[in-house]
Amino acid sequence: MTYAFYFDSSACSGCKACQAACKDKHNLPVGILWRRVYEVSGGGWTRRDNAWVNDVFAYNLSMACNHCAKPICAEVCPARAITKRADGIVLIDADKCIGCKYCSWACPYGAPQYDDEHGCMTKCTFCFDNIDAGLPPACVAACPLRTLEFATESTENTGKKKANSGLSVFPVAENVYPLPQASLTEPALVIKPHKDAHRANEQLAQIANREEVGRSENREYSLVIFTLLAQMAVGSFGVLAAMMWLENNSSRNLFVVIAPMMVLAMLASFLHLGSPFKAWRAFANLRSSWLSREILLATLFAGASAFVAVTQWLNMGTPSMQNSFIGATALLGIALIISMANVYRLRTITVWNTWATPLAFFRAAFVLGALFVGAPIAFIENTGLIGIVLGIGFGVAFVIEVKNRFVFYASRIKNQSV
């Protein structure tokens, strides 16, 4: 048996007492709302014969963390800071959270929210302290119309949630605009839809108070730098490796730039963290988090590329041994790009969960890497004009990729549901 929220959208007046009670109990700072009341509206004026008829509709949705049966926030958290209790309540351990904000990307309900003061993520706790004391959550207790309830639930009947407190049995939250598909995370949420909820899916509807409840767009400067530098490092290494295998020794000493490029990329990624001194915890969830795997592979690739640079600079080992080191490092680079793409291919973000994401990352790696090392090689081989052209091409390509990456990050906000 686990806990679930029950919400009667047909009777909610939108008073936001639940929202205020949650904020008051947990002393939440400005900008953070663990429970949000969405004001959905649509319709307008339609012409019937010689008259114009008003068919406006509106309803409210009170939403918080839904303590899902399949919490994707816990799946992707690299620090294993998000856990699920036996009663289904999903909690964030602030002492373990590194503030990477990845859980807020993955959650289709936008439940995890960043606390800038403490450098960690926060979200609805289902008022577990009240639950443990036999009391209702603050939001439930504050609802004057009793449209918000909670109870333990079972999933014995497909598509139904049963309450043990005399509540009516309603369909699980599904096809209620603007909620995402329930199958993505299986939320512990049961909704009695408003009578006009079906119209929101059939007609143009909108969230009228988007500024109050919407997720803010973060420019993600540090991640743009990290992804582009890391991809450029992998692409540059691949081009240098190919030239070495073609017995072009003019590229031998250029391996030395790869490891510093990766170090700069990883330092940029630290700027994204709310708690950078806990970054070591990012390796804690290799079992299910692609972010943990990405960080591990980035570290391994940086170390391996530094080793290759030393062996090439000092001409250590036999040619076959050097080629083996280069080949193994190149494979690490490919694995890094794949893991980097899978960080973004979240099932809850359809605009990212396509083959276009890895293709874009490999394209950036190849184009930027080829132009970046091609220019100095051209100068080394006394073809300065070609080097100048390649250098200009690199600058143009880098600017284009930066612009594409900002558009990529912004697309998540534009395609969110709640």
The answer for residues whose C-beta is within 8 angstroms of residue 131's C-beta and 6 or more apart is 3, 87, 89, 137
Strand partners, 362: none
pLDDT (tens digit per residue) in 182-239: 889 999 999 999 988 888 887 788 999 988 998 777 778 999 999 999 999 999 999 9
Q: Give the mean model confidence (pLDDT) for residues 1-24.
A: 94
Coil, helix or strand for 154?
strand
Would you say 281 and 102 are in contact if contact means Cβ atoms under 8 Å apart?
no
So what's the pLDDT on residue 54?
86
- The closest alpha carbon to 376, from 259, 254, 256, 258, belongs to 254
Q: Give the mean model confidence (pLDDT) for residues 258-266.
A: 96
Q: Identify the sign of the CA torsion 3, 1, 72, 279.
A: positive
pLDDT over 80 (residue 267): yes
Would you say 279 and 73 are in contact if contact means Cβ atoms under 8 Å apart?
no
Q: Identify the sign of the CA torsion 384, 390, 396, 402.
A: negative
Measured CA to CA, the distance from residue 417 to residue 340 in angstroms comes to: 24
Phi, psi dihedrals of residue 311, rounded to the nearest 5°: -65, -35
The answer for residues whose C-beta is within 8 angstroms of residue 324's C-beta and 6 or more apart is none
So what's the pLDDT on residue 253?
85
Which of 42-46, 154-158, 164-168 holds the top average pLDDT?
42-46
So what's the pLDDT on residue 380?
85
Q: Give the mean model confidence (pLDDT) for residues 279-286.
A: 96
Phi, psi dihedrals of residue 371, rounded to the nearest 5°: -70, -35
Measured CA to CA, the distance from residue 139 to residue 137 in angstroms comes to: 6
* Half-sphere exposure in the Cβ direction for 381 (13 Å, CA): 16
Average pLDDT of the chain is 90
139's enclosing H/E stretch is: helix 138-142
- Tokens representing residue 89 in the block: 């309540």
Strand partners, 4: 151
pLDDT over 70 (residue 172): no
So what's the pLDDT on residue 208?
92
Q: Give the mean model confidence (pLDDT) for residues 145-173.
A: 56
Torsion of CA 281, 286, 291, 295, to 10 degrees: 70
In the sheet where 162-163 sits, what is the strand order? 162-163, 148-154, 2-8, 189-192
Measured CA to CA, the distance from residue 397 to residue 281 in angstroms comes to: 35
Proportion of the chain above pLDDT 70, given as a percent: 94
Segment among 4-13, 37-46, 81-90 with least mean pLDDT: 37-46
- Provide the 8-state DSSP code for 39: E
Residue written as tokens 């706790």? 125
The answer for residues whose C-beta is within 8 angstroms of residue 180's C-beta and 6 or more apart is 108, 109, 348, 417, 418
- The closest alpha carbon to 103, from 267, 230, 281, 289, belongs to 289
Would you say 378 and 384 are in contact if contact means Cβ atoms under 8 Å apart?
yes
Measured CA to CA, the distance from residue 244 to residue 18 in angstroms comes to: 65
Angle between helices 356-380 and 384-414 (to 10 degrees): 160
Q: Which domains does the chain have, with CATH numbers?
A: 2-213 (3.30.70.20), 221-414 (1.20.1630.10)
Segment among 46-55, 134-143, 291-300, 321-330 with least mean pLDDT: 46-55
pLDDT over 80 (residue 326): yes
Amino acid at 341: A
- The closest alpha carbon to 339, from 369, 296, 310, belongs to 296
* Half-sphere exposure in the Cβ direction for 229 (13 Å, CA): 21
pLDDT over 60 (residue 157): no
CA geometry: angle 178, 182, 188, nearest 5 deg: 105
Q: Note the helical H segments in 203-318.
A: 210-213, 221-245, 258-270, 290-313
Would you say 157 and 396 are in contact if contact means Cβ atoms under 8 Å apart?
no
Would you say 72 and 347 are in contact if contact means Cβ atoms under 8 Å apart?
yes
pLDDT over 50 (residue 159): no
Burial 382-393 (b: 16+ CB within 10 A, else e): eeeeebeebbee
Band (104; pLDDT cuts 50, 70, 90)? very high
